[in-house]
Amino acid sequence: MSMKTVNNSLMRIIFAMIIGLVLVVWPDAAANYMAITIGILFIIPGIISTVGYFANKNMPELSTRFPIEAVGSILLGLWLVIMPDFFVNILMFLLGFILIMAGIQQIASLFSARKWVRVPGLFYVIPVLILLAGIIILLNPVETLNTTFIIIGITCLVYAIAELINWFKFLRLKPQNKMIAPVEDAEIIEDEA
């Protein structure tokens, strides 16, 4: 077994375990850290573009306009880093609203379809569940978010354990790739028929 296979498998296991544990133990903090990380991902390219503009400002052949988008990216990133709760709450309310609208739209479509075809009651179950999920998110966004992160964290932990078991059971027994001798150039013989 190659060292690269061991490293890749072990790295996946370690990262999945860390992410899973963080999401299960601190689900409320995970949302804020995710918003902060996204903020940093907005700040970095904004800084790079702004620094690039000022570094090339003295070169007349590279006349460019001031990078307003870069400054906007920096400001949005700073806002995400400074006020992550605000964005997490907006995201949850937006998700709840989208789910409510989706549930209502599906129910309305099914009612409309009743004009030309019989629609069994079971077809209403999923749209009603979607509608209820949206209402629950709007009424209790923080708990819903925490529950979602806990489920994702548990899934990461299960993945890490399964990957570890697979590594012990199968990958470490994988045969080594044998070095194949290089093929020499062959001479083509033409048929003289």
| Distance of alpha carbon 58 from alpha carbon 47, whole angstroms | 18
Whether 74 contacts 47, CB under 8 Å: yes
179: left (phi over 0), alpha (psi -120 to 50) or beta: beta
- In tens, the pLDDT along 131-158 reads 998 898 889 887 888 888 888 889 889 9
The domain ranges of the chain are 10-173
Residue 186's pLDDT band, with cuts at 50, 70 and 90, is: low
Nearest-angstrom CA–CA distance, 27 and 148: 8
Residue 137 tokens read as 């998110």
**Does the global pTM surpass 0.85?**
no
Secondary structure (3-state) at 86: helix
d(CA 80, CA 88): 9
Angle at 90 between CA 86 and CA 91, to 5 degrees: 115
Q: What distance in Å separates the CA atoms of residue 138 and residue 160, rounded to the nearest whole number?
A: 33
Q: How sure is the predictor about 66, in pLDDT bands with cuts at 50, 70 and 90?
A: confident
